[in-house]
Structure 1
Amino acid sequence: MALNWFTELPSGVVTNFSMLEALFNQHFVVAKKFRKTSIHLMACRQGEQESLGEYIKRFNTESFENPNLEDFVAFAALMSGLKPNKFKFDILNAEFSSFSEAIARAKKHISIVDIVNPGGG
C-alpha cells in the first residue's frame, strides 16, 4: 500500500527525506492505531438492553487495551458505567473497591442469574 502511494506521487514533490516523512505521515495517519487510555474506559457504559455479562465482557476487552491501567481507575470506570441495578447497589455497599474483586463478584452474580433465570439474562 505504501509503495503504491509512493509511486503515484507526482515527480519532484519529494525533495528530501523530511518531506517524504511529512507526506507519509499525513497520508497514513488515519491507519495509525491509537493507544487507548483510561479516558476511553470511562466512556464505556452499559447499554440499556445490555446484560451484565455482556457489559463485563466488553469492559474487560476495553481494559486490556490499556496496559498501564491502574486498578482503582478501572474500578471507578466500571462502577461509573454500570446501569443502576441490584448488582451495582451491592458493589457500592461492599467493603472493597478493587477492580478484580468487582469482576469476581460480577461473575458470581452472573452465574446466579443464569441459574435462577436460564436464558433470561
Structure 2
Amino acid sequence: MTLGLQQPPDEILCHSFPTTLKGATREWFTKLPTSAIDNFEQLNNAFLRHFVGRQRPKRPADHLLTIRQGEKETLRSYVKQFTRETLEVDEVDNKVQLTTFKAGLKSREFVMSLAKNPSKTMIEMLLKA
C-alpha cells in the first residue's frame, strides 16, 4: 500500500526515462553529455526546455491545404506527414481534416472510392488509407 505513495529514487527515474522515448526525443537524450544531468529534476527541466520551449505558434486550419502527396510519395508517408502537420494546427475540426486530407491525395481512384463510401471521422479515413 505505501509503495504507491512513495516517489521512486532519482536513479530509477533517470534510468527508466529513456525507455519511454522514440524518434527525435530518443536522439536528443542520447546526445546529452553524461555529466550534464545530476538528478531527475534536471533531466525533466532539460527535456521541457528543449521540446516545450521550442514550440512554434499553432498554424491556422487552412495550413492543411498546403499538404500534398508527392508524385512518388507513398500513401503511408503522406498519412504520416499529414498527421504530423495536423498536430501543429490550432483547433482543426473533423470535417476540415477529412476534406484537406482528400484534397492532398494524388490517387484520384482512391479519392473516388472515398466519395462512394465516405468516412465520418479522420480515424476511419486513416484506417481506409
TM-score (ref. length: structure 1): 0.55
Q: Does 1:88 align with 2:111?
A: yes
8 Å CA contact 2:59, 2:90 repeated in 1: no
1:35 positional shift = 1.8
2:68 matched to which residue of 1? Answer: 45
After superposition, the C-alpha distances for 1:11-53 in whole angstroms (9 at most, x for unaligned) are xxxxxxxxxxxxxxxxxxxx99332121111110111110101
1:79 matched to which residue of 2? Answer: 102
Secondary structure at the aligned position of 2:81 is classed as helix
TM-score (ref. length: structure 2): 0.52
Distance 1:95 1:50 in 2: 23
Amino acid at match of 2:117: A
Aligned pairs, how many?
76
Q: Kindly, what percent of the aligned residue pairs are identical?
A: 26
- What does residue range 23-42 of structure 1 map to in structure 2 within 5 Å? 33-42=56-65
Secondary structure at the aligned position of 1:69 is classed as coil
For the aligned residues, what is the CA RMSD? Answer: 2.0
Q: Which residue of 73, 87, 94 corresponds with 1:64?
A: 87
Secondary structure at the aligned position of 1:33 is classed as coil
Give the greater-gyration-radius structure (CA).
1
Secondary structure at the aligned position of 2:97 is classed as helix
Gaps of at least 5 residues in structure 1 are: 1-30, 107-121
Gaps of at least 5 residues in structure 2 are: 1-53
Secondary structure at the aligned position of 1:103 is classed as helix
After superposition, the C-alpha distances for 1:61-98 in whole angstroms (9 at most, x for unaligned) are 00111241100000000011111343222112104343
1:21 matched to which residue of 2? Answer: none
